[in-house]
Structure 1
């Protein structure tokens, strides 16, 4: 059984021990990523296996794999059935690939150089107010990914998996039946657009992203049987090349950028959209009243990685107005995000 089941309630843990566990949390990040990289959750998907069997399949050290699995028991990924045999828990099953809700690529990309190295300089990002990607990677995050296709593939799939995680909620809270064409701008491999098109069969889609991203999107849309309903366009959304649509989706895009860059992007979409066209921004929203929110941690990620930020509702209203969009409503959609709906004036 997992050792964590016997842990005392959090309120009974001495502050020094709580601090030790907070500081050592990065051990867990790397442990989870190693499990994902070695495919251990996939190998355990068929049932109980010995650590030696898993080591052979992963082409890894038997001793190392056993110690990794034992660490996974400690954080709830596996259960050990002595001697040295393991089963997958529901938590660990999230690291299986090609299953709904998979978090394997997310785990890998968060522990990869593209995120890991900049986060190591958080203190410097706070001191300077600048992202740490160029200092640690030699390029900004997007440039770095374009130069490292393997890491870019993990990142793109991770973004697609997270989009799938929230897509059904977005399709549930917003009625897309009024639109003939929906453009997903910066839509990665098209996970959100796929769910929208399946839920609203009369809609046609436009997927817009960088050229090195959209090749994965073409494959995904073809596999989903949606290639004939979707136009795939490669380009830079800061340039006046966006196609016309009735509604534009921006999921987790604006938080990557500072206000000036967001205003430029929103202006480009405004230029492409017809009068009365809709803009649907899917983002986490920081409470205006200062309540504690996990979005504050994502805000630090944006500082370190991109020089962007998470925003309050009032900040989004001002940002949209700066590009002549009129905020109409903000609808919580679950999964920590809201749908921020605006109309083209």
Structure 2
């Protein structure tokens, strides 16, 4: 090759490396969260704050979720490039909708679901079991009816003995004693219970009490929450961008696991983060174990087990939430993840 061409090629290669290293020419990518930015999305916030997306040539934008902001149609409409769904069932349901939305799961932040039936009880009381739900007042959130029915069927419970009411997302129904159990995330509502029970003037029904939970995944069906997804078009047209995005997110999650104290400071100070530093610390401490599993220790962070997805599909079909079963490889893929050696 003539020297002038060699020089030109070297300059071009150098320019490409500068772009990937995070120059002003980086690609703009938007992540649509499934809820308001808080400790649940620590890997995303840390990856952004620490510059991991910029290192991958990505100018990263975070859009908050919240009431009425379902990430699935937002990503499908092209208003965001990647989304994080609170539950993998929304990915499955989207592909089976009358007007199908072709999205696919690329990884999951949580390896286990924090969804549970929570109660307030004495610290030395035995751990509650599914049978304890019978004869009790159960508060469920708007989408919890089919989950309770399926849980009852799985565990041989008689729902006719339960008084079931729809409640809002806060822990108030438990705090005021209007329900005995309520559906909740173990990394969310119990914080409110702990705060109220610790107050010097706590009411008698809370004084000296604690919370305990019946984990859905332990007695029901494991499902992946906090699922990262994109459209089929995205992974087909720009697979390298997908890999770079997931590589940055994996770095963020790795930092959260290895540097929990520093990660807490980053998340608590992140612009637009909605919770107090105290709640962020509590939440991040209680969710650390959800990020890892035997699967991730073998295959790398964010990895999803196809067998879990297969059970999810069967579970939602049997519960009447989807019209038919669907092949697992149409709703999830691990092929863009960086793998077990990623750092």
Higher relative contact order (CA 8 A, sep 6+): 2
Which TM-score applies when normalising by structure 2? 0.30
Q: Name the one with the larger helix percent.
A: 1
Which TM-score applies when normalising by structure 1? 0.30
